Structure 1
Amino acid sequence: MIGKHRVQIGDNTIRYDFVLSRNITIIRGDSGTGKTTLYNLIQEMNQKKNSGIAWNCDCGCYALTDFDWEDVIERHPKSIIFVDENFSSMRSEKFASIVNSADNYFVLITRAYLPMLAYSIKEVYSMHVSGKYATLNNEYEITVNELQNVYSSTLSYPPRLITPDYVLCEDSNSGLEMFHALAERVSAECHSAHGKSNIPEKVLDFEENKTYLIIVDGAAYGPEMGATVRYIEDHFNCYLYAPESFEWLLLKVMFSKDPMIYRILKNPSDYTESTKYLSWERYFTHVLEEHTKGTELEYHKKKLNKQYLYARAMKILSKFLLDSNINFDRCMV
């Protein structure tokens, strides 16, 4: 399943209107904010032909229950599956395995920690109700524009130029090599957390008198974002940079003038097939590998091609990062 899908549903008391862009969307929030009402409307619409519920979407919408849930997903491919927080299998490995391979989009109404699922920090929402109209608001306001993907403790983007003393990367492969080389330009340390789940714990060891920059793949960092934000808010000079992925960054910086790459970066939803890719991060890796195959810039995730570390490539990338107020240029220190 690909593409963006607008869901409009409601009755005479409340109306919902939102757009889904990826295979997994998370809706969080306190009780009484309309989350369960949304699920109940979908469920009632499924059960009653003349429910009186107004509904508009270009694909089917179904409410998952504990009864026969695997069969429901299998019988309704290319549809949107809504799952309430009371669903007993929400945290199970079996449910995660089915979600990760199904030809569906899933809307999970839950505050649970779901590390088995790779969902984007941009697809975590809270419900906002004004009168009888309900919309979804991003839980983490980190995107000022398509370039700035930085979260700080006080603002949605850094109020000043960041020159890090210490860089912590989720990645331990090609991304780490590149950011290690960039960090050396400003005499900063750079280390890997060896997995996204280790990052919140690493933040606890940060010193107050240093400036820290954490770099993660935003396309799959959703499960860890809540804990990371809580820790960051206790450190005044700690920032999170969350582009879609390292591969997205290279595509954006070095190959976006190619017409096909430009179209993909502009509307990834139109190309990222949910049955093939757990997240956009996986898709961007595939695109970069295919686009550079057989060239001097051939990309490998495990080991960075040294061509990317030459002066021209480093200069282009560091200039791009300046647009997010991240400085890896010793001349500006």
Structure 2
Amino acid sequence: MKKIMFMLVAVAAMASSCTQSDVIGLSSDDNVEIRVSAGITSAVSPSTRAVVDGMINSNFTENLDVAFVRADEGGSGYGDYGGTALVGTVAHAGKTLSFAPAEYYLVSGKKTKLIGWYPRRSGVSYTQGTRVVDFGEIDGKTDLMATVLYEGSKGTKISSITFNHLLTQFSIKVYAPDAAAQGLWGTVSSIKIAEKKQTCTITLPAATEAANTAAAPTFTGNSDLDLVNTDLTTSPAATINYPLTLGVGTAANAAQAGYAMFAPQTTGNVVLKIELSSGVTQTVNVPVPTTPAPAGFLHGHAYEITLKFSSSAITPTVAVADWVPVTNTPEVEI
């Protein structure tokens, strides 16, 4: 799906002598915990299996470790974000966010800005001076997400927070139309996505920027990215064993080859490198969709790529899966 909107519900962090009615009637000298209410939305019905490996949808069944930074309004406007990222967790039950330790709006009534990202884990770093979050090298299976800049105060609280996907996703299937073609090609040893094993960083907007300003992603590197040999269409997810035998018949009989998430691309082709058991490597160009607008393999979209191994060529068919309705299925013969 294009984005996930998490319900961020208050986590009780007041002193034990306080009741909920005490919280509602706070004076300007009391602390008000930062708390946000929202829902989880999807462009279409979410897939039937929630995953943390693979593009995260509204059915996720494991807690999500997230991070935020905050900037507080002073007498002359906003200063820098804090030097250390805030530790947050989104619980899968109830989609609730909690910070450890708890975060509060300014008692003075001045405003606070927040911006966050997923995942929070070893190897993901935040640098205050450059405002850069470095996710490290894309592994194909980890969903990278970031929020826009939010602003709120004791009097005007942040009402919702949305995490937006930074990557696009391919799920690949393979088949031959008949046994003769299957025998001609043999088995598949591996499938790689050319030049998509990259590092990903985001530059956070300055705290002085307007609310709703997004972080800017940057992708560098040009190594080939292996497919993740996991079938996400089953529950629980199943391991795909290579060498992989082609399905026989129609696209409905295609064998799952795996998936990968990588940097979006708006022009040209995404190139697949298919290594066969014979030792031969075939290259297949998958052109970016041009309709509907905007063109491209877009962030927050999942694409199902079906490769037909006929007697003369490998033909890719592209369809948008789960998160965005299908509008076209271009087919190109190599």
Smaller-chain TM-score bracket: under 0.3
Question: TM-score scaled by structure 1?
Answer: 0.23
Structure holding more strand per residue? 2
TM-score, normalised with respect to structure 2: 0.23
Q: Which has the higher helix share?
A: 1
Larger-gyration structure (1/2): 2
